[in-house]
Amino acid sequence: MNYEQAIKNIDRSISKRQPSTFNPAWIRNCVRKSYDFISKNVETESGDVDWDQVVRCLGHDYQKLWLKESKRKKKIQLYKDRAEVDAILNKHKDKLYTFLVQADKEDKKVCDEISIRLVRTAQKGNILARKKAIYFIKQLVDYWIETRNLQNWRGYNDLLEKNIDGCIRRYRYSGSFLVYLHRTLEYSGRGLRPLEVFSLDEYSTITERRKSDNVVYDPETGETRLYSKNA
């Protein structure tokens, strides 16, 4: 048996049995040969079975049925393991540029795969993986803001990072993490008010004074305000 045949067998079994959901245990019970092959040959950098890779190769409708985790959520213990993160980055070190520029569909696929590996490791509790995931994904999102319909996020750096972190924590289904992230940012960004970017060194066309001359600090509220009335 090879990888392609293992995937075909799973696809065929799902089509025949029509389960409402399926998970590794279902594959072990219903498609044992494929399960044994995948368990021995399809691993993540940390030695776990890479079910994300497997499910992404199944039919799109079947991907929606994947339910890896049980309904009972385990409490996650936070930890720091740099070796786990380095294993992922070293394996894909020649493709990290895909977070900055993507020349074709293959680059998008690889970028998604790296993202998912970092996200899954972060979900296990690895704080360093979460930080590294946010670091790389933020670079890609910055590119989206300039080239795709996420312009409303321009200037909302802290809120953007918070939303990326939320997507990392909530990502559960097997499929494209980057598609999930983009859709989430697209929907949540619709309510954002576009920020006007200008320099405080600019001169007002009315008063001929710098805009910085109208910046006032309120010691009672701790707010710094720009009085545009005289700008």
Strand partners, 64: none
pLDDT at 217: 59
pLDDT at 137: 96
Q: Are the beta carbons of 50 and 121 closer than 8 angstroms?
A: no
- Per-position b or e across 111-128, b if 16+ CB within 10 A of its CB: bbbbbbbbbbbbbbebeb
pLDDT at 129: 97
Cβ neighbors of 109 (< 8 A, separation 6 or more) are none
User: Where exactly are the structural domains of the chain?
Assistant: 3-63, 82-191, 198-231
Q: Are the beta carbons of 116 and 52 closer than 8 angstroms?
A: yes
* DSSP three-state, residue 81: coil
pLDDT at 86: 96
- C-alpha dist (Å) from residue 107 to 52, 101, 169, 174: 18, 8, 24, 19
Alpha helices in the chain (DSSP H): 3-17, 24-30, 32-41, 51-56, 60-63, 82-91, 105-123, 127-147, 157-170, 177-188
| 222 Ramachandran zone, left/alpha/beta (phi>0; psi -120 to 50) | left
pLDDT at 33: 95
**Structure confidence by residue, pLDDT tens digits, 124-178:** 999 999 999 999 999 999 999 988 788 888 888 899 999 999 999 999 876 789 9
Q: Are the beta carbons of 100 and 123 closer than 8 angstroms?
A: no
**Structure confidence by residue, pLDDT tens digits, 66-77:** 886 655 566 789
Please list the ranges in the chain whose pLDDT falls under 70.
68-74, 174, 195-231
